[in-house]
Chain A
């Protein structure tokens, strides 16, 4: 660690987000994932001779949302450019992208660090482009090409070199994922490639102003890999410098299986993309009305929502953080909270506990999406209401929860069918307790002689006798009175 303190890393990220538009960036083909290879195609995305691109307005709209959510300056006029290179999955021999004059510039994202402090990471630019197809190399035959992905809209978010640790990069990337999913413009799935991240990394002696030589790290296809790969590369560069060497500017590919970053051959990266303005498209003009409309339609963003959860529901910050991490979960919580009978901090906290522990446990164990969770927010709230009304105990509620998972029934139905209604009738409970005390006279004597820790034993015996249905509060009251006699 001492070695690391002598050095400081400088990290900038380039994040590609696949946008959830229905059709492709420059033609009417569907963007649906998983269709038969080479079926989501038309002359335009196949790059047939004579075709022309037509801009999908939603590509602009989605990128504007991201730009405005990250405090960017929106260019009133931006242009597309051609990025020229040869590859079999690039039918036109160029990718339509933006180079000079991108649509969004000079924004930022505030990310929270481990110590609770906030750091502002600058966004250099966000631009629009089209995806290439997929080359499939690991077949017995030659390389196969699937062009379904050709022309699927992408947004590239380029950060300033503002991050100093792999943790900061991780937090920044998480924040981007959170924002794009909140905006509903990208599903944020790194493993499936709908969110991709390349990093520019260099190190310098702490306190130095000048940047060191940077390398580019690619192929980090999970959040965890990004952190690991950056950690690896930072340490590698420090070791090179410590050994008296100098860092070579190159592109490295992260190998997640071996936990190493491997250098690409320099020949492959010696690209001159010969960018020039795309003559087949006219400039994208964004007026103040459009900006105002997009701005006013922006949903509540993660940071605002977290703060509101703390303020409105009196939740601890920890709860608010977890509940708002994903928009679906926050929506779920909020819908459930709205159905609570008692709108007090106790109920809000109670339902937060259920969501954070029980709902999330099932979500993670069963890999279900929050939106597909078998228990509706209404039913979860109804269950918490039943606890509040004293109809069931918290303990019985666990049983009801499991049953709801299986049957998706309303908790009241389950409680009635299974006879799980809590026994709150003091007279009936007193009778049962009298029996318990009579059957355990030895323990009762010991209690009286001062072994008061036996109180729990009597509660347990009473619960056993009622099959867990006794109202714990009333049981406590009666037992205290009787044992005190």
Chain B
């Protein structure tokens, strides 16, 4: 049977182990939640910002085309080619950093729509010198502007998807953080239970036997040969009871020898 010291040390070691496990698990969960939340939110925010840049460059390209058609060909072509390279670069970067497949599909659609728009812009530029102004207007309104609108719609859908995704991720993270709190919450309840049980055992195995011995010693009368108490444990308290009983016997013997 274990000694008193071992029992108490072991019990507190268990309690400490429980709290460490709870703390580590909560911390690790929080770390995971915060790092993935950080990554996802940054990624989504960057996607939305890049979508805005695509729209801005698209407007620029459109303005460049209108300038070209209006006769300012050199400036117009410069704006068109600058906008095109910016858009191509943004799409490539966003696709590379996209986390989910759905996001990549949306970007592919934007790219396809943009390629159609851009090739129609280049075709219009080539035709610009050989057609009259009202023909240029007609060409822009019937062929190029609908393609411009399609690219804008595709980018808007992508932005909407990212915004919805942030909202759905928020509820996912709320659930994940609730899970991260759980080990701490459960360990508080478990620690309370542990303390109640430990308190019961300390009372049962330490306080109560010591009280018994104290009462037996205080009510001890000279004719007694032992303490007349029953200690059930097999630890130091039992040893104490045995030693007191031996001492009483020794005292009784020496007293009878003296008499």
A, B: real partners: no
